[in-house]
């Protein structure tokens, strides 16, 4: 039962992979190098963009810091103005208190003066006849009598004058009190405006401070991203250096293979399964290529077998580390499991194993790239 389940899983995988296009081009070191250099260029552009973002954020932050400084100055001025207004209101309240006290005293004096005057008038009215008789008896002469009478009239005039003066004083004090209260109301209105302005500016200070903090966080995040890009560029540069070194080694290997001793095809003993293995590799690398391209791929494998700088067996060449991408991707294993090689792939393998080559002694092939020269067959360049 378990074996059937395993077979079912394998069949599902086979069916899914069957949808993969037949043509699979090898990714050479040169191609990887080109891709790595492009990725490095892309990362450098991202880093440049991020640095521009950082500069922009810092500029915005500096602008906000300038605004915050101005707002703090405004807040200080408003607070000072508010303090002055509160002091002026306190002074005005004290003046009103003094004025109210003076008004109360003036009204008290006016009341006392008015009461005294009424008593004198009442006394003189009630005892008018007696007083006239007394004044006549006591007066030594008619002149003295007239003087007494004049004194009484002047006393009445004085009482009236003092009453008028106190009443005028009360009016003046009341007017002063009204003026002080009006000034106090104006000061309180100014205080309310100052408090509103202080609240407004304080709100702007708080908002601007929060915005500055937010920009600080954004700058910190952007700098972290820029640092990551710099680290990525460093790693990409190391990878590029590695690929350049590897490419140089491959070129050296190709030249070495061209200049090294080669066996004759008659000296090669092929093992059982070499034909099947080679035909399926040809299928993976050039299954969708014209027949000449399939022969050329087979010839590259056999050229390596014949060269003294590569393994001397088909198995050793094909499974040499990091040489043929279908090996690493698993496509060759799947093709071998299913026997996917076509009749033309087998014919190409037979010709290659017989020593036929349409690419000379080439030991590499890849999809065309700018600057690469070699023998062009189908979608590959052989070099």
Sheet holding 380-382, edge to edge: 365-366, 380-382, 375-377
Please report how many Cα atoms fall inside a 13 Å half-sphere around the Cα of residue 339, on the Cβ side: 2
Q: Average pLDDT of 277-301?
A: 96
Q: Which domains does the chain have, with CATH numbers?
A: 50-232 (1.10.287), 260-382 (1.10.10.2520)
Nearest to 330 by CA among 32, 16, 33: 16
Residue-wise DSSP of 231-290 = HHHHHHHHHHHHHHHHHHHHHHHHHHHHHS-B--GGG--PPTTHHHHHHHHHHHHHTTS-
Cα of first residue to Cα of last residue in the chain, in angstroms, is: 51
Q: Show the tokens assigned to 367.
A: 């999809």
Q: Where are the alpha helices (DSSP H) in the chain?
A: 2-17, 29-126, 128-138, 142-259, 274-286, 291-306, 314-318, 325-329, 331-338, 343-353
- pLDDT category at 283 given cuts 50, 70, 90 is very high
The residue with greater pLDDT, 84 or 166, is: 84
- Tell me: the pLDDT tens digits for 181-238? 998 898 889 989 988 988 999 999 999 999 999 988 999 899 899 889 888 998 888 8
pLDDT of res. 255: 72
Pair 114, 170: CB distance under 8 Å = no
pLDDT at 145 over 60: no
**pTM more than 0.75:** no
| Whether the predicted pLDDT of 289 surpasses 70 | yes
pLDDT value, residue 337? 96
Q: How far apart are CA 124 and CA 133, in angstroms?
A: 13
pLDDT (tens digit, 9 = 90+) per residue, 240-266?
A: 887 777 766 666 766 777 777 788 999
């Amino acid at each position: 039962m378990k074996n059937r389940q395993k077979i079912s899983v394998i069949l599902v995988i086979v069916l899914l992979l069957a949808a993969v296009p037949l043509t699979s081009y090898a990714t050479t070191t040169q191609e990887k190098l080109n891709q790595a250099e492009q990725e490095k260029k892309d990362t450098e552009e991202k880093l440049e963009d991020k640095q521009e973002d950082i500069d922009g954020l810092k500029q915005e932050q500096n602008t906000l810091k300038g605004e915050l400084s101005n707002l703090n100055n405004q807040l200080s001025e408003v607070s000072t103005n508010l303090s002055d207004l509160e002091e002026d209101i306190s002074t005005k309240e004290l003046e009103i208190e003094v004025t109210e006290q003076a008004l109360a005293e003036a009204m008290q004096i006016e009341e006392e003066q008015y009461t005294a005057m009424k008593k004198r008038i009442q006394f003189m009215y009630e005892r008018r006849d007696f007083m006239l008789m007394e004044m006549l008896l006591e007066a030594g002469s008619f002149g003295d009598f007239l003087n007494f009478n004049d004194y009484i009239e002047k006393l009445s005039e004085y009482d009236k004058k003092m009453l008028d003066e106190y009443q005028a004083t009360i009016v003046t004090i009341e007017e002063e009190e009204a003026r002080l209260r009006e000034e106090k109301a104006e000061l309180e209105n100014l205080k309310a405006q100052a408090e509103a302005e202080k609240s407004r500016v304080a709100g702007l200070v708080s908002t601007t401070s929060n915005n500055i903090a937010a920009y600080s966080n954004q700058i910190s995040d952007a700098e972290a991203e820029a640092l990551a890009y710099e680290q990525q560029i460093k790693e990409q540069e190391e990878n590029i250096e590695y690929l350049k070194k590897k490419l140089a080694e491959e070129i050296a290997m190709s030249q070495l293979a061209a200049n090294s001793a080669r066996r004759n095809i008659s000296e090669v003993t092929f093992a059982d399964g070499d034909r099947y293995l080679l035909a399926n590799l040809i299928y993976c690398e050039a299954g969708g290529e014209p027949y000449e391209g399939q022969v050329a791929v087979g010839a590259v494998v056999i050229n390596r077998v014949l060269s003294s700088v590569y393994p001397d067996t088909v198995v050793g060449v094909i499974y040499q580390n990091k040489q043929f991408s279908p090996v690493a991707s698993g496509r060759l294993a799947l093709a071998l499991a299913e026997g996917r090689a076509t009749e033309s792939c087998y014919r190409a393998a037979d010709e290659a194993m017989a020593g036929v080559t349409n690419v000379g002694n080439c030991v590499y092939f890849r999809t065309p790239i700018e600057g690469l020269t070699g023998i062009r067959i189908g979608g590959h360049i052989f070099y």
